[in-house]
A and B are shown apart, each in its own frame.
Chain A
Amino acid sequence: MSAQPFRAQDKLALLLALVPYLLDQRRVSVADAAAHFAVTPELIRDAVSLIAVSGVPGETKQYQHGDLFDIDWDAYLERDTIVVTHQVAIDDTPRFSAREAAALIAGLQYLAALPEHDNREAIATLMAKLTRGASAAPSQLAVAETATAGEASAEEIATLRAAISGETQVEFDYLNARGERESRVVDPLLIESIDQDWYLRGWCHLRHAVRTFRLDRISALRGTDRPIATHGDEVAVPSRLFDVSADDLRVQLELPADALPLISDYVTPGARTVRHGDKVRLTIRVTHFHGLKRLVSGLPGLVEVLAPAEARALVAEWAAAGAAQYAADDAGAGA
């Protein structure tokens, strides 16, 4: 269910979509309709109550009884069931707008480029249908096939998807950011790609917590027959990519305000930023400084670590080691 606000235009879209659905279903419970449209029962009731009193001005311009929709009020009020008994003006699904079709087509292009989607023909057919089902030519939006994660992970993705739907555990070796390999047993919950990288989210039996694993750091992945442990409701996959726990390290950063989106994955929602001259300062939490040195070195001239000194030193050391290679290489070439 979406947490985004539902505006008047969204409500209109729901009304126009709901009418043909109700006519098609003939008789449907509020709960089923809500589940089908993935909205709250309250939104469905609001929509039905409005549909039931709506219609066209009609011959008399007075919205007479026959000019209005009507529903079986007994069924609705007593059994929470919707039955449309009289319809006016609409009976079919509306077309997609140019923007709606474009958003879905670009999404499909991204899917088509994923390693495990070998059915490009089906996707091409679907894109053609969306174009035909739009009320104007879809706007110019496109995703290149090279936008996606490498092809080596196709087999791993298949193994993980099978384990998630079969609710079985997986085992693998994981290369952590410190460069160490550890054997992990994980109850897989979600496999997620973000831009170019794939991530597995799952309950880690080594850490006793939900953890995020980068797929390209996983090796020797094996599915098992063991069912996943039951974790109850406390196991929710966090919407943030990186896990934060109470024992995490705090790091104070300084950067230009418009560079904030570049580090959004690391920023806890609601984190406070403080203006400092023409830049902002904020504190992020990391599990260790090894990921941080890569992050900061990859945003040269933008992000500075202010504290702690240990983190600053690690970043300086990392970048200096990188730069030193060039001096050594130049010297070697000259010799």
Chain B
Amino acid sequence: MVAVSVEERLFSLVLALLASEQGLGKAEILSTVQGYRQRYVLGGDNASLDRQFERDKDDIRELGIPLETIDAPDRPGDSQSARYRIPRALYELPADVTFSAAENALLGLAAAVWRDGSLSEDSRRAITKLRSLGIETDDAVIGYAPRLRVREAAFGPLKLALDRRQRVSFLYLKPGQKKPLLRTVDPHALVVHESRWHLSGFDKRARAPRTFLLSRIVGPVKPLPGETFDAPAAGAAERSLAELQRVWQGNVAVLGIVAGSDAGLRLLKRSGVSPTDSGRYELHFTDLDILADELAGFGPEVLVHAPAELRAAVRSRLLQVSGTHQDGGNA
């Protein structure tokens, strides 16, 4: 018997479920659909084939295909008597969703913003579906590549947990503290603010919504088996961004910046930077410790005047770096 490839089995299952108006029962699927029927034992034990079908359903749903389970009216929750189908109207892209060549080019550019990890994979599949429409693309975007990176290891597992509404726990090193604390969180949104990824979610211990910087999650993100939560109200990502914006607006640093220096080039182009009467600059920020790290990198090109806490933080960082590198090396 020639083995049937995974994609052939999945493709055949989608075709069979799309073609059936009333849906198919599990026994019918396992005994007749290509890829299952070859392994089906009439009147025998089909437990492993059954498990295969359960995994395949998940894989198909992950592609956004609306594979529905219809319970038998007299036996709710019984998977053996349930029927499965893919309603055509929910499967097909609505007829009025069309894209022009210019829009198509823009979507290609949007997909290319993500170069690695799960967002890149999701984008790539979306573009495959988009190409199905046969739209010609403008070539105007050649040689132009805006992109955002996802460098934090926590992003992948958090995105998965967000999509599956799965509670997670992780060690979090809160800015300004020396020891990380274990946090248990329902992830509600992942947002980029000031080029940094943040998780907003419900902190179970604090019993309140909290925002976490992904770069400060130390150690692995662990999904808590069996603990799921209800979807937050729509607009969680927008609310999270608004909150970060509020924090950013409220924090102001006063800096002296050496004219024409690299620090000047980098900091003065930021949004919300304004000069003061005394030749200094006011700069908004979200996280004091992260800004302190960044300003330390500019060495003598930046002098922090206020707030005092930021001034002390930058100064101690510079002393630490110069101290660490003071002697001739130990390698």
A24 touches B134 (CB 8 A): yes
Q: Does A155 count as interface, using CB distance less than 8 angstroms? A: no
Flag if B146 contacts A99 (CB, 8 Å).
no
Cα separation A317 to B322 with both chains bound (whole Å): 7
Contact A294 B238 (CB under 8 A): no
CB pair A100 B123 closer than 8 Å: yes
A318 to B325, alpha carbons, bound, how many Å? 10
Q: Which residues of chain B are within 8 angstroms of A264 by Cβ–Cβ distance?
A: 151
Given A8-B10, A264-B151, check contact A132 B94 (CB 8 Å).
yes
Interfacial chain B residues near A38, Cβ < 8 Å: 131
Contact A99-B122, Cβ < 8 Å, known A141-B237, A316-B325: yes
Q: Does B22 contact A (CB under 8 A)?
A: no
Tally chain B residues at the interface, Cβ within 8 Å. Answer: 125
Contact residues, A28-43 vs B (CB, 8 A): 36-38
- Which one, B43-51, B72-80, B240-248, is touching chain A? B240-248
Report the separation of the CA atoms of residues A126 and B130 in the bound assembly, to the nearest whole angstrom: 13
Binds A, one of B112-120, B205-213, B275-283: B112-120
Pair A300/B321 contact, Cβ less than 8 Å = yes
Task: Indicate if the CB atoms of A104 and B110 lie closer than 8 Å.
Answer: yes
| Chain A residues whose C-beta falls within 8 Å of the C-beta of B129 in the assembled complex | 13, 16-17, 93-96, 100
Distance of A154 Cα from B318 Cα, bound (Å): 35
Is the CB–CB distance between B91 and A94 below 8 Å? yes
Stretch at the interface among A75-83, A203-211, A301-309: A301-309
Total interface residues on A, CB under 8 Å, equals 127
Summed over the interface, the residue pairs from A and B with CB atoms below 8 Å come to a total of 396
Interface string of A308-322 (1 = CB under 8 A from B): 110011011111111
A272 interface contact, C-beta 8 A = no
Residues of B within 8 A of A146 (CB): 193-194, 245, 248, 271-272
Does B309 interact with chain A (Cβ within 8 Å)? no
What's the Cα separation between A102 and B140 when bound, in Å? 24
B18 and A195 contacting across the interface, CB-CB below 8 Å: no
Contact present for A104 and B107 (CB under 8 Å): yes
Residues of A within 8 A of B261 (CB): 179
Please measure, in the bound complex, the distance between the C-alpha atom of A200 and the C-alpha atom of B298, giving whole angstroms: 23
Name the residue of chain B whose CB is nearest to the CB of A129. B97
Task: Indicate whether B307 reaches chain A with its CB closer than 8 angstroms.
Answer: no
With both beta carbons as reference points, the residue of chain B lying nearest to A103 in the complex is identified as B122
**Per-residue 0/1 for A83-116: is the Cβ within 8 Å of any B Cβ (1 yes, 0 no)?**
0000011101111111111111111101100100
List residues of A (156-207) whose CB comes within 8 Å of B's CBs: 161, 164-165, 175, 177, 179, 188-196
* From B244, B265, B270, contact of A217 by CB (8 A): B265
Instruction: Tell me the smallest distance from the CB of A39 to a CB of chain B, in Å.
Output: 9
Given A12-B14, A96-B64, A122-B106, answer yes or no on A18-B99 (Cβ-Cβ < 8 Å): no
B134 close to A216 (CB less than 8 A): no
Of A108, A258, A326, most B-chain CB atoms within 10 Å = A326
B142 at interface (Cβ–Cβ under 8 A)? yes
Residue interface bits A60-77, CB-to-B below 8 A is 1, else 0: 010100000000000000
With A13-B128, A126-B107, A301-B317 as given contacts, are A152 and B269 in contact (CB-CB < 8 Å)? yes
Q: List 7 A-B contacts (CB under 8 A).
A: A13-B128, A104-B126, A106-B192, A133-B97, A147-B193, A217-B265, A326-B311
